[in-house]
C-alpha cells in the first residue's frame, strides 16, 4: 500500500465477481434496465421501476434532434476525415457545452434556488419566481430551460410532465418550473414555454440528482444519437465532404405509428 493509495465507492472487482454499488452485476443483468443501472451507478442506490421509467423517458427524449446541433456537425466533420468512431463521439461531446446541453444544469440551479428562497423567506412560489426573474432581467441574463428556436409547444416537455405526474414525480420542482413559465410571460409579455431541457431539469431535481450531473444526462442520452450520425456519415457519405449546417433534408421512413 503506497502513499498514493486511494478509495472508490463505485465498483468492487474480485476474481469472477463484480459488484456495482454493492450489487452483484450479473444479478442486475436481466432484472434492471440500463436506465436503472445508470441511476444506481450515479446515485449509489437502486431506483424503483418508476424511477427507471422516468429516466428512460428522459433519455429517450434527448436521444437525437436531427443533424443541426453542433455536437452532430462536429462528430460528422471529424469522422469525415477518416477518424475512428470513438474520436468522433469524443469530439461531439466536446460540443455539448454551455450553450448546447448546458441549460439543464443552469435550470436546475435556478429551480433549487427558488425552492430554497421559498423556505428561507417564507415567500410563495409566485413571489420567488417573480423575484428571480426580475433579478435576472436586471443583470441581462436569460433563464435557462425556457423557449425554443423551433418548438413553441415542445411535445417532449408535455410528455415528460404527463409521465412524471402518472408515475408520481410531479412535485415541487415541476410546480416551480411551471410557475417560471407563467412568470416569464407576465414579466416579458411573451410566451417562453418550458423546453425539453427545462423539463428534464425539473424532473432531475425531483429525482434528487445533483445539478452538477444535469448535463451528463444530456450527454448519456445524446451519445447513441451521435453514433447513429457517425455511422450514417461513414457508410453513406463521401469522406471530406463539406457539411452544410442546415441545408439537409430527411429521407428516412415516413411517419409511422408504434
Closest CB to a copy of itself among residues 126, 212: 212
Residue pair 54/69 in contact by the 8 Å Cβ criterion: no
For residue 178, give the H/E element and its range: helix 172-188
- Cβ-based neighbour number of residue 123 at 10 Å: 15
Question: Which of 47, 51, 88, 207 is close enough to bind a copy of itself by CB under 8 A?
Answer: 88
Query: Does the protein bind a copy of itself through residue 187 (CB under 8 A)?
Result: no
Question: Which of 158, 171, 175, 187 is close enough to bind a copy of itself by CB under 8 A?
Answer: 158
Phi-psi bin for 6: left (phi > 0), alpha (psi -120 to 50), beta?
A: beta
Extract long-range pairs of 129-136: CB within 8 Å, 24+ residues apart.
129/176, 129/179, 129/180, 129/182, 129/183, 130/183, 130/186, 130/187, 132/180, 133/180, 133/183, 133/184, 133/187, 134/187
Enumerate residues 41-70 that contact a copy of itself by CB under 8 A. Answer: 41-42, 44, 46, 53, 55-57, 59-61, 63-68, 70
Site size toward a copy of itself (CB under 8 A) is: 131
Tell me the C-alpha distance between 38 and 205, whole Å.
16
Query: Does the protein bind a copy of itself through residue 128 (CB under 8 A)?
Result: no
Query: Does the protein bind a copy of itself through residue 109 (CB under 8 A)?
Result: no
Enumerate residues 200-239 that contact a copy of itself by CB under 8 A. Answer: 210, 212-213, 215-216, 219-221, 223-225, 227-229, 231-232, 234-235, 237, 239
Choose the binding region for a copy of itself from 35-43, 124-132, 168-176, 177-185 (rule: CB under 8 A).
Answer: 35-43
User: In the complex, what is the shortest distance from the CB of residue 108 to a copy of itself, in angstroms, rounded to a whole number?
Assistant: 14
Amino acid at each position: 500500500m503506497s502513499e498514493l493509495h486511494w478509495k472508490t465507492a463505485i465498483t468492487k472487482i474480485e476474481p469472477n465477481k463484480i459488484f456495482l454499488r454493492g450489487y452483484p452485476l450479473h444479478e442486475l443483468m436481466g432484472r434492471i434496465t440500463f436506465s436503472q443501472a445508470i441511476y444506481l451507478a450515479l446515485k449509489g442506490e437502486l431506483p424503483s421501476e418508476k424511477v427507471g421509467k422516468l429516466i428512460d423517458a428522459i433519455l429517450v427524449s434527448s436521444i437525437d434532434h436531427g443533424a443541426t446541433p453542433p455536437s452532430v456537425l462536429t462528430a460528422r466533420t471529424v469522422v469525415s476525415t477518416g477518424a475512428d468512431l470513438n474520436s468522433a463521439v469524443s469530439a461531439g461531446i466536446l460540443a455539448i457545452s454551455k450553450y448546447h446541453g448546458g441549460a439543464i444544469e443552469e435550470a436546475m440551479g435556478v429551480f433549487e434556488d427558488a425552492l430554497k428562497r421559498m423556505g428561507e423567506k417564507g415567500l410563495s412560489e409566485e413571489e420567488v419566481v417573480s423575484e428571480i426573474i426580475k433579478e435576472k432581467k436586471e443583470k441581462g441574463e436569460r433563464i435557462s430551460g425556457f423557449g425554443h428556436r423551433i418548438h413553441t409547444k415542445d411535445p417532449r416537455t408535455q410528455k415528460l410532465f404527463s409521465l412524471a405526474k402518472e408515475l408520481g414525480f410531479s412535485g415541487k420542482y415541476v410546480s416551480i418550473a411551471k410557475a417560471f413559465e407563467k412568470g416569464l410571460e407576465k414579466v416579458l409579455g411573451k410566451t417562453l414555454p418550458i423546453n425539453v431541457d427545462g423539463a428534464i431539469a425539473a424532473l432531475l431535481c425531483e429525482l434528487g440528482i445533483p445539478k452538477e450531473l444535469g448535463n451528463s444526462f444530456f450527454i448519456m442520452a445524446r451519445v447513441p444519437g451521435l453514433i447513429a450520425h457517425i455511422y450514417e456519415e461513414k457508410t453513406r457519405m463521401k469522406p471530406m465532404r463539406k457539411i452544410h449546417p442546415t441545408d439537409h433534408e430527411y429521407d428516412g421512413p415516413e411517419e409511422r405509428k408504434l
